[in-house]
Every structure is written in structure tokens, then in C-alpha cells.
Amino acid sequence: MKRNHYIIIGIICFVMTVGICVQVKTVDSLNTNSGVQSMAENKLRDNVLKAKEKYEASYEKLEKSMNELESLRKTAAADNNEATSIEEKISEANKLLGLTEIKGKGVVIELDDSKLVKSNEDMNDFIVHDLDLLEVVNELFNAGAEAVSINGQRIISTTAINCSGNIVKVNDEKLGVPFEIKAIGYPDKLYGALTRPGGYLELMEDDGVSVSISKSDDISLPKYNGVYQNDYMQVAE
């Protein structure tokens, strides 16, 4: 009986030893995999930063070249009536395309998520969505707005406004609340269109979203910092 007892104890010790070895190898393997994953993430992060730096450097060169070109155009047009007319048309076109900073009168709208959400209510009813921004921007342009921006992002014809998790992307830039929408145009007309009874801002307020709108005589909008891409337009022969 004693021999059997010693044999059983030996088997138990052997099994425990094997189990401990397996656990040690598993932990080492996890640490190794974690280290490899961490190195991969760091490398990817470095590549992203390098690409961003390269983009910013290229954009600075483009910006400098554009400023030099504009200066040359103005110099060439100084003593030439026809050239002056062309320069004015180019400047006007750049304003419409969002390729230049502009100032003027208009309205400023601020939208923020509600701070009064109850536990038994749907949170989605109290936050600002991408579709809300799109609706407000459309109402502004329909009311005659000449230019619009959201949190410093100039809205152009190809601007995309969409949701990305708990944030909104405008011109592929991630933006969060509060949203400040600036619009240049006739202040009274823009203000009246957005504050009319049954308008979209009123519906947002009814849902609990924080909304404020004011007129301003001094609004500055930045130029569009992206790159225009025309995949389908062609010059007609």
C-alpha cells in the first residue's frame, strides 16, 4: 500500500511539473507575441508620422508656390486691363471653390450634445449626428450662404460629412462636439431660414440637443486645405 501511495504522489508531482512548464512556455509565448505586436504597432505609428510629415512638407511647398503664382499674376495684370479682368475672375473663382480665405457677414451656429440624458432614454436622440450637420449645411446653402465651414473645415462641393464611431469626419478630418458652423451671407436671411418654426434647428432643440445661433458682422472662413479630385469631368472639345 505504501508503494502504491508513493507512486500516486509521484504521478501527481509529475503532472504538476508538466503543467507548470506548459504555463511558463505559454506566458513566454504570449510575451513574445505581445512584443512582436508592440513592435509592429510602433513601426506602423512611425510610418504614419513620417507620411504626415512628408504631406505637410509637400503642402507647404504647394502653398508657397500658389502664393508666388498669385503674386506673379497680380504683377502681370497691374498695367494690363485685360489681364486685370482675368485676375479678378480667377480670384472670384477661387472664392467660390474655397481656395482662398474670406471674410464677411453671416451667422454662427453652435451645436452640442445634451447634458441632460436620463438612463431610460435613447442616447442617440441627444447627440449631434453627421446627418444633422449635413442638414444644417444644406439649409444654409439653400438660404443663400456663399461659404460655410464646420470647426475650421471649409465646405466645398466634394466635402463628405460622415460618422466615424463617436466622432464626425469632415473633409476626412475627425471633429468632435461642440460643432461651430460659420456661414457667410445675408445675416437676416440665413438667421430667418434656420430659426423658422418647424425648422431643423427647432427639431434638434426639441430632441434635447444644445443649439445656439447668432448673427455676426465679422466672420472669417479658412480656405480648403485638401486637394481637388475630378475623376469624371473633362474639357469639352
State residue 109's pLDDT score: 97
What is the bridge-based pairing of β-strands 161-164 and 167-170? antiparallel
Domain boundaries, the chain: 1-71, 103-221
List of the chain residues with pLDDT < 70: 1-37, 39, 50-52, 54-70, 72-74, 76-88, 90-96, 117-122, 125
The CA R_g of the chain, rounded to the nearest whole Å, is: 30
Q: Are 207 and 129 in contact (CB under 8 A)?
A: no
- Convert 198-217 to b/e letters by CB count within 10 Å (16 or more is b): ebbbeebeeebbbbebeeee
Kindly state the helix (H) or strand (E) to which residue 213 belongs, with its residue range. strand 210-221
Q: Domain spanning 103-221: which superfamily?
A: Protein of unknown function DUF881 (3.30.70.1880)
| First vs last C-alpha separation in the chain | 105
Q: pTM of the entire structure?
A: 0.66
> Considering only CA atoms, which of 122, 140, 133, 139 is closest in space to residue 164?
133
**Would you give the DSSP letter of residue 224?**
P
> Considering only CA atoms, which of 115, 151, 121, 145 is closest in space to residue 133?
151
CA–CA distance, 138 with 121 (Å, rounded to integer): 29
State residue 211's pLDDT score: 95
Q: How far is CA 186 from the centre of its chain?
A: 27
Kindly state the helix (H) or strand (E) to which residue 6 belongs, with its residue range. helix 2-77
**Would you give the DSSP letter of residue 210?**
E
State residue 2's pLDDT score: 42
State residue 190's pLDDT score: 97
Give me the residues paired with residue 221 across strands: 102
Phi, psi of 153 (to 5 degrees): -100, 115
CA–CA distance, 181 with 135 (Å, rounded to integer): 12
